[in-house]
Amino acid sequence: MDWQRLSFVTAVAVALSVSFWKPLTAEETTESSPQTAAGPVLENCFVMLVEEADIPAQEAGVLAELKVAEGTEVRAGDLLAKIDDRRAEIDKRLAADQYASAREKADNDINFRYATAAADVAEAAYQAALDANRRVANSVASSEVRKLKLEHRRAVLQIEQSRLERSTMGHEAQEAAAKLEAADDNLRRRKITSPLDGVVVDVRRHVGEWVQPGDVVLHVVRLDRLRVEGFIKAADAPSSRIRGRDVTVTVELAGKAGKERHEVTGKVVFVSPLLQTGGDYRVWAEVNNRQQDGQWLLQPGQPVSMRVQ
C-alpha cells in the first residue's frame, strides 16, 4: 500500500513539472538578460598639456618692451614683447622710399611715348620723300632720302630702347620691393608674439636685457584644451572598441561646502598598440577645459577619473 502511494505521488510530480516547463521566447530571453554595460572607468588618470611653447627671440638686441607677466592670458598673434627696433624702423622707411622711387620710374612711359611719336614723324618724312621721287624723279636727293630713312630707323630703335629701359626699371622696382619686404620682416622679427592661445607661465627675460637669437623669453601653455591619460585592461575592453569614443572626465575640487565634483567632456584620440606589463594599454583623450569662478577646472598634473561612454 505504501509503495503504491509513493509511486502515485512521484507520477503526479513528474506530470506537473512537464506541464509547467516551456522554452523561453526571444522576447523573454532579451528581457531577462542584463543590459549592455557602460564603458570602463579609468581611475588615477593624469591631466597633461596638449600644446605649450618656449617662445624665443629671433633677433639679437636689447629687450625694449615686455607686455605680459606670469598668469596673463593671451591669444595667438598677441604681441608679448619687443626687441629694440629703432634701426629696423629706419631701414624700413629707407627701403620704402627706394621702392616708391623705383616704382615711379618703372611706371613712367614718357620716353616710350616720345620715341613712338618721333618714329611716326620720321616715317612720315621718309614716305613723303619717296612719294615725291615717284611723282618727279630725283626731286629729293638720294642722300637726303637715305638720311630720312636712317632717321626713321633710329626712331624705331629708340622705341625698342625705351621698352628695354622700362623693363630694366621694372626689375629694379621688383628688387626694391624685395628689399622692402626684407626690411619689413626684419622689423617683424623683433616683435615676439604668441603662437597659440594660452597662459604665460614663465617670463625668463626682462626689459633692458640683451637677448640672442634662440634665447627663450617666455613660456606659454594652452589650458582650454588638455589631454587626459590613463590605462585600460585589455581583458576589460579591447582597444578596437575604445578608439574615437566620447569620454567624461570627473574632477573633485574644494568648494564652499566641501568637495565638489565637476565634469568635462572629450574624445579618445589615441590608443596605444603596445600592452604594458599586466595586460594594460595606454589611452588618452583630448578634453575641452572650462573655467569656473575665474579658474580652470582641469590643471596639468591633476589626478582625475575618466569614463569611456
Q: What is the pLDDT of residue 66?
A: 97
**pLDDT single digits (tens) 42-101:** 999 999 999 999 999 999 999 999 999 999 999 999 999 999 999 999 999 999 999 999
Higher pLDDT, 37 or 119: 119
In the predicted structure, residue 149 carries a pLDDT above the cut 60: yes
Calculate the alpha carbon distances from 293 to 222, 290, 296 in Å. 19, 10, 8
In the predicted structure, residue 35 carries a pLDDT above the cut 50: no
| 22 band by pLDDT with thresholds 50, 70 and 90 | very low
Q: What is the pLDDT of residue 34?
A: 31
In the predicted structure, residue 9 carries a pLDDT above the cut 80: no
Provide the CA 97 distance to its chain's centre, in angstroms: 34
What's the mean pLDDT in 145-150? 92
| 38 band by pLDDT with thresholds 50, 70 and 90 | low
Average pLDDT, the chain: 86
Residue at grid coordinates 608674439:
193
Write out the E strands in 132-245. 191-193, 198-203, 210-211, 216-221, 225-233
Return d(Cα 221, Cα 224) in angstroms, integer: 10
**pLDDT single digits (tens) 282-298:** 999 999 999 888 889 99
Residue at grid coordinates 603662437:
195
Q: What is the pLDDT of residue 48?
A: 95
Q: Taking the C-alpha atoms of 104, 110, 112 and 114 in order, what is their torsion angle to the nearest 10 degrees?
A: -170
Residues 6 or more apart whose Cβ sits within 8 Å of residue 208: 62, 63
Q: What is the pLDDT of residue 239?
A: 85
In the predicted structure, residue 236 carries a pLDDT above the cut 90: no
Return d(Cα 190, Cα 59) in angstroms, integer: 6
**pLDDT single digits (tens) 85-118:** 999 999 999 999 999 999 999 999 999 999 999 9
Return d(Cα 258, Cα 260) in angstroms, integer: 6
Residue at grid coordinates 623693363:
167
What's the mean pLDDT in 138-167? 92
Q: What percent of the chain has pLDDT over 70?
A: 88
Cell of 164: 628695354
8 Å CB contact between 83 and 64:
yes
Cell of 277: 606589463
Higher pLDDT, 263 or 15: 263
Measuring CA to CA, which residue among 257, 253, 259 is closest to residue 304?
A: 253
**pLDDT single digits (tens) 185-225:** 999 999 999 999 999 999 999 999 999 999 999 999 999 99
